[in-house]
Amino acid sequence: MKTDVHKTAEFGEFVLAAFDGAAHYSTDPLVVARLAAGAVSLMLRHTRTQAILSLQRTTDTKAANLLQLA
């Protein structure tokens, strides 16, 4: 299995940006980590929802059903 280095770098940059943004709201590392984790979680949830909707529009309903079960 190959790793898509470009997408991994983009995700890493997003996580870094989430921590940088969260650091503007607090100096407590625990609060910063919780804020950043919440932002990343929301983005991943949105991305997963969009992937499911995209697959449902195609003929690949089996893959869409598998994503919904995960």
pLDDT of residue 2: 61
Give the number of domains in the chain.
1
SS3 helix, strand, coil % of the chain, rounded to 5? 80, 0, 20
Question: Which among 7-16, 26-35, 51-60 has the top mean pLDDT?
Answer: 26-35
Q: 46 is in which domain, residue-wise?
A: 5-69
Over pLDDT 90: what percentage of the chain? 40
pLDDT of residue 67: 66
Cα dihedral 7, 58, 67, 43 sign: positive
Provide mean pLDDT across the span 41-70: 72
Q: How confident is the model at residue 3 (pLDDT cuts 50, 70, 90)?
A: low
Report pTM: 0.62
